[in-house]
A and B are shown apart, each in its own frame.
Chain A
Amino acid sequence: MTFLKNCWYIVAWSDEIVGDTILARRICDIPLAVFKTADGPKALYDSCPHRFAPLSMGKVENDSIVCGYHGLGFNGNGACTTNPHGPITKSMCVKSYPAVERHKAVWVWLGDAEKANPDLIPPLDFQDTQYEHSIGFGYLHGKADYKLYVDNIMDLSHADFLHVNTLGGSFVGTKQEVKEDDATITARWSQKNMSPNALHISVGTFTADAKVDRFTEVTFYVPCTMTLISAFGALDAPESEYLRTIGSHVMVPETATTVHYFFSTTRNFRQEDAEFNKIYLSKRDQVFAKEDKPMIEAVEERMGGVDLFAKKPLLLKSDEAAIRARRKIDDFIKREQQLS
C-alpha cells in the first residue's frame, strides 16, 4: 500500500511520552523512536545504523538516544554524539523526521522535510481546553486498513445499527449534507424534533420524553484526521446554545492492515464534573472497543486485504462522504507521486 508522506501524522498523545520515555511506534511501515528533548519532541528511524538494534531499546542521555546494544548515541537530528569505540564521523547518522508537539499530541512528518510546515496540522485546538475534567484521550490498536476506520466515521449511519443502544437511532433517513474544499470534506446530519438518545439523556438536561433538535458534523482532513461535533438543544433554540461534544478521530496507518486509532472527546457542559467525565469516557471507550473495533476488523478479514474499489462494493447514497474521502486520499497520493 502507498501512504501519503507529505502530511502530519499523530504518533502519540503528549502524555504517552514523559521524562525519558522512548516510544517505539511504526507509522506507514516506518519504525520510529520518539522521545522528548529540551528542544521539543524528536523522531528517529528506530534502528541503529551500526547493527540495526532498535534505538527505542536504548535510553535517553543528554537529549540523545544511546543505543542499548553497543552504546552509540544519536541526537534529535540523527547525528552521532557518542561513540565509545572510536572517533565520530559525519557518516555516522540515523534518519530523523520533523516532529512537533501541538494540541496535546506529537505529530511527525514522514515526507520531504522542507515541506514540513506546522501550519498544516489539522485544527484540533479544542483539545487545548483548560478544563481537565471535560476531556479524555483514547487509543486503540486496530487490525484493519486505516481507510476502513476512516469510513466508519465518515458514514455514521452505522450508529443506528452497531450502536443502537447508545449513539444510534437518528441517522438513517436523515439527509446527509456533504461539502468539499481543497483539503477537507464536511458531512452534516441535522434533525429537528427528535427524541433524545441514551447519551443525551445521561447528560441530565433532557428527559426521555423530551424532544430535541440536534446535528452531527464530521470534518475530514486528508488523509486520516477527523473532527466530530455532536450537538443538541431545546426545540428551535439557536445552535450557539446547544450542548455539544467535540472530538477527534485520527486513524494513523501503522501498516497496510493495522492502524493506530487516536481519539479524544471534549464537551461544553459539566466541564468540572470529574465523576461525569469518568462515566462518559468509559462508555465511549466501551462503544469503540466492543462495537466498532470487532466489526471493522471482521470486515477487514472478509475483504482479505483487497482494496475496497477493486472489490466492487454495493455502494449507496449514504456512502457519499466516505467515498469522497477515499477519492481525496487517492488524489493526494497520486499528486505526491507525480511530483516526486
Chain B
Amino acid sequence: MPKFSVLNRDKLSSFVEIQEGQSLMECLRNAGYDELIAICGGNCSCATCHVYLRDIDLETLPKKSEDEEALLEGLQYFSNDSRLSCQIQVNHLLDGATVVIPPEE
C-alpha cells in the first residue's frame, strides 16, 4: 500500500496510507492532525495548513499559484519546501514522502 509519513509538532512520526480523491489538508485532518488548523477549509486564503514536503522531488508536483506563493512568503517559518497542503492532491506522487508540520506561527 503506498503511503507517506507525517512528522508532527511533537516530532513523532507515523504513516498515512494514500487514498486518492482528497487534498493533503483534508487527508491530514481526517487522520487526526488537528494541529493543522486549516481555518479556511481549502480556499487558499488563510495559510493555516502550511507543511514542509520532504523526501520527494518537488518539481513533480503541480506548481504553486501566485496566491499560494504570496501566502507562503508571509509566513514566519517559510522554507524552500513549504506548501499549503490544501493545494496538493493526494496521489501516488506522495508515496514515500515525508510531510512535516512546521512550528506554530
Contacts and interface: CB of A to CB of B under 8 A. Distances in A.
A316 B41 contact: no
B43 A320 contact: no
A324 B48 CA distance: 12
Secondary structure of the B contact surface, majority rule: loop
A323 B46 CA distance: 12
17 contacts: A313-B40, A315-B40, A315-B43, A316-B39, A316-B45, A316-B46, A317-B39, A317-B48, A317-B105, A319-B39, A319-B40, A319-B46, A320-B37, A320-B46, A320-B48, A323-B39, A324-B37
Interface residues of B, number: 10
B40 A314 contact: yes
B24 interface: no
B46 A315 contact: yes
A313 B39 CA distance: 10
B40 A316 contact: yes
Interface string B28-42: 000000000101110
A320 B39 contact: yes
Interface string A304-325: 0000010011111101100110
Nearest to A321: B39
Interface of A: 309, 312-317, 319-320, 323-324
Contacts of A309: 41
Nearest to A322: B39
A315 B100 CA distance: 24
B46 A317 contact: yes
Nearest to B47: A317
Nearest to A317: B46
A314 B41 CA distance: 9
Contact of B41 (A315, A317, A324): A315
Contacts of B37: 320, 323-324
